[in-house]
Amino acid sequence: MRHDRVNPEARSSLQLPGGNRRMDRQMRLIHLLPLLFGVFVVSYCAAAPPPVEPLPERIDAVFGRPLVFPVRTTGRKPMPEFEVRLDDGHVLVAEVQWVRVSTPPFGECGNSAWLPAPVQMEAIPADSPAAGVGQGLWVARIAIPLTSAGQGFWIGQNRYEVNWLPDPRRLASSGGGLGRAWNSPLRAGQSASPLLSTLVQPFADHPVQKWRYDLCLHGLVPGEEFDAREPGGPVDDLDALRAEVAGQGAFSPLTDQLEALERARWQVALARVWLADPSLSFPVREMLAGAVETPGGVLPLWRASQAQLDDLLDAMLRPRVSDEQRVLHVRSWLQSFDPAVAWVVDDAGLVDALTGEFRPTIGVVNLDVVPVLAFARPAQVGGPSDLSPLKSREFRTLRGEVVPGSIEGGIQAGPGVEVRVGRWNTYLSSIGVIIPVAPPGFALGPLRREWTLESWTAMDEGMDAGPSADRTSAAMLTRARLPARGSRAAVGPQLRGVDEVWHLYFEARTPAHGQDKSGDDSVEFWFGPFGDPTGAVRVYADGRVIDLRTGRNVTEHSVEIIRLADRWVVRFPIPDGAIESDGVLRLAITRQDSCGQRTSWPRRMLPGQVEPGRVAVQTQTWDGFGRE
């Protein structure tokens, strides 16, 4: 009898990613799904093909839990059940279900895009007409008795070895401070942040992502969730007993077992990190489910990508690996992440009191585990006052110093700011100049979506930045004659019919199916220095106008609003005092559409950020004279 055996040290790969940022990655998610369950070793004899065959290279199992793994079929549609034989000869019945998956569109109405939306999963009986339709995969479930745990199993004449993992509760009861291996990595009070709760809520009940949600907010300490109580509690009357017996034949989706299995795998993995080197435990948990506190609220920093999750889980669950090998792998894994992130928050909101030049506002976060010093100026320029100490996971804004350009790898860079956080450094492009305005006007835009975690850590302004085509916006700063529209008000100067007035023209597209909610669509206009605006107004598509500095409705105003079938238009006069004595106007625009999706110009904003960064323009150049 001939036996072929796959290398048991072959790499594993975790489940599906939490979601995707582009629809053209959906098929990649389906290819990842078979890797949900790790790696297996197979030995087989030449014989007729079995009715189903496991897909992953290793099947991970936990004592006391069913085996759950994806399978491929020899026919178009498998039978709902098939027989398996354990090594000790016991015959069990395995159940097959179709797990259908779908990916929410990027930036779907009502969903924040900071974390990728989790892939939706639905278990369907194999004999249902809906089984095998659409994107998904076949998954088998085998309930192995406790007395038979530790064995492999046979399908036909093919044997499959199982990587049996310890019961996490037994690990928790072993002492030695192991309980800290599953603690949440959040700092005190961070879990109470409404912004954090909102951003992670889509993962609260997800079959293969709930472990990450729980680790973030509550910790992953093994407990009763491993063997959940009966839904109705103890049966203490005859009617309840009859109902329980009658319901035993009801369909039981295996997604519940997926959640328990994935939780247990990560509980074992985190325990092994602690046992190998306790000093690595907290940094690993921060990468998996950490957070950072910003002025707008606490943001989840679930930095590990799906590939990085797969890599770590495989290394920790792989059999016959020493603690020394695991330590080396974890350290290498941690070093693969950048130790900091930096971005331009504002280009022209602040003026240097000594030089009169605009100083951009730079946001930095220290993602390292140790405190460091940070500054945003050329390295050759001195100035100890610019140095800012940063604790681990600390957010800070710095006043940058713009340089006209620098040589990086032989390429001339434009105006920008050199940022250093500890030994890490980067060069951020900045507008760095006052932009002259000339007829017919200065186009503002494009308005870009809020940062996503992926684009923010990559410091890529263009990644995932564009809204859908039916939610785009366009704007222009111009000077023209406007019809008289009432008396002087807080939001605009008096218009006298023939006066040329500086104003903003803003146009917002709206989807046809969202017309019933388009009144909630709004645009905000911000003027003056960043952090100390001279004006801030929100204009709604239904005509409401609110002064953001006072929170009051403005009943008398000079704002013109036009509603069209697929868009709405605003003509907004520039407020008195917004244009400074030297002709400089500092401004920014944000829009929040009827779905709650926010876009901004000139810079992208973080979720929860209230005030957008500004850009400076020179209005005195309109007539061909003045400062340029």
Q: Which of 592, 591, 585 is nearest to 615 (CA)?
A: 585
CATH says 435-621 is which class? mainly beta
Q: 483 falls in which pLDDT band (50, 70, 90)?
A: low
Q: Which of 271, 206, 189, 276 is nearest to 15 (CA)?
A: 206
Tokens 């002259």 belong to residue: 436
Give Cα 622 to chain centroid, integer Å: 43
Position 111 scores a pLDDT of 57
Q: Topology of domain 340-429, per CATH?
A: Immunoglobulin-like (2.60.40)
116 contact partners, CB below 8 Å, separation of at least 6: 17, 18, 19, 20, 21, 452, 454
Structural contact between residues 317 and 56, judged by C-beta atoms closer than 8 angstroms: no
Burial 64-73 (b: 16+ CB within 10 A, else e): bbbbbbbbeb
Structure tokens at 67: 């085996």
- Measured between its terminal Cα atoms, the distance across the chain in Å is 87
Distance (Å, whole) CA 363 – CA 360: 10
What value does the mean pLDDT take over residues 390-419? 73
**E strand segments, 133-217:** 136-142, 153-155, 158-165
What CA–CA distances, in Å, run from 300 to 104, 304, 347?
A: 20, 12, 26
What residues pair up with 547 in beta bridges, in sequence order? Answer: 537, 552
Whether the per-residue pLDDT at 259 is higher than 60: the answer is yes
pTM of the complete model = 0.83
Q: What residue spans of 151-190 are helical by DSSP H?
A: 168-172
565-610 per-position pLDDT tens digit: 889 999 999 998 899 999 999 999 999 998 889 999 999 999 999 9
Q: 76 falls in which pLDDT band (50, 70, 90)?
A: confident
Position 416 scores a pLDDT of 81
Whether the per-residue pLDDT at 419 is higher than 80: the answer is yes
Burial classification of residue 97, based on how many CB atoms lie within 10 Å of its CB (0-12 exposed, 13-18 middle, 19 or more buried)? buried
Burial classification of residue 102, based on how many CB atoms lie within 10 Å of its CB (0-12 exposed, 13-18 middle, 19 or more buried)? middle
Whether the per-residue pLDDT at 115 is higher than 60: the answer is yes
361 contact partners, CB below 8 Å, separation of at least 6: 344, 345, 346, 349, 350, 397, 398, 399, 400, 530, 613
Whether the per-residue pLDDT at 498 is higher than 70: the answer is no
Position 148 scores a pLDDT of 87
Structural contact between residues 316 and 269, judged by C-beta atoms closer than 8 angstroms: yes
Burial classification of residue 27, based on how many CB atoms lie within 10 Å of its CB (0-12 exposed, 13-18 middle, 19 or more buried)? exposed
| Percent of the chain whose pLDDT exceeds 70 | 78
- On average, the pLDDT of the chain sits at 81
Position 224 scores a pLDDT of 59
384 contact partners, CB below 8 Å, separation of at least 6: none
SS (H, E, C) 264-285: HHHHHHHHHHHHHCHHHHHHHH
On the question of a cis peptide bond just before residue 602, with omega within 30 degrees of 0, the verdict is: yes
Whether the per-residue pLDDT at 613 is higher than 60: the answer is yes
Determine how many CB atoms are found less than 10 A away from the CB of residue 431.
21
DSSP, residue by residue, 344-410: EEEEEEEE-TTT--EEEEEEEEE-SSS-EEEEES-TTS--GGG-EEE-TT-EEEEE---BS--EETT
Within this chain, domains 340-429 and 435-621 share the same CATH topology: yes
Q: How many residues are recorded in the chain?
A: 628
Distance (Å, whole) CA 261 – CA 37: 9
Distance (Å, whole) CA 266 – CA 312: 10
Determine how many CB atoms are found less than 10 A away from the CB of residue 415.
16
What value does the mean pLDDT take over residues 410-436? 80
Q: What residue spans of 277-322 are helical by DSSP H?
A: 281-289, 306-317
How are strands ordered across the β-sheet holding 372-376? Answer: 388-390, 372-376, 416-421, 424-429
Burial classification of residue 153, based on how many CB atoms lie within 10 Å of its CB (0-12 exposed, 13-18 middle, 19 or more buried)? buried
Give me the residue spans of the domains in the chain: 23-243+251-335, 340-429, 435-621
Whether the per-residue pLDDT at 229 is higher than 80: the answer is no
10-33 per-position pLDDT tens digit: 333 333 333 444 444 444 444 444
Q: 89 falls in which pLDDT band (50, 70, 90)?
A: very high
Tokens 């957008």 belong to residue: 612
Amino acid at residue number 269 = A
What value does the mean pLDDT take over residues 140-153? 90
Angle made by CA atoms 333, 339, 345, in degrees to the nearest 5: 140
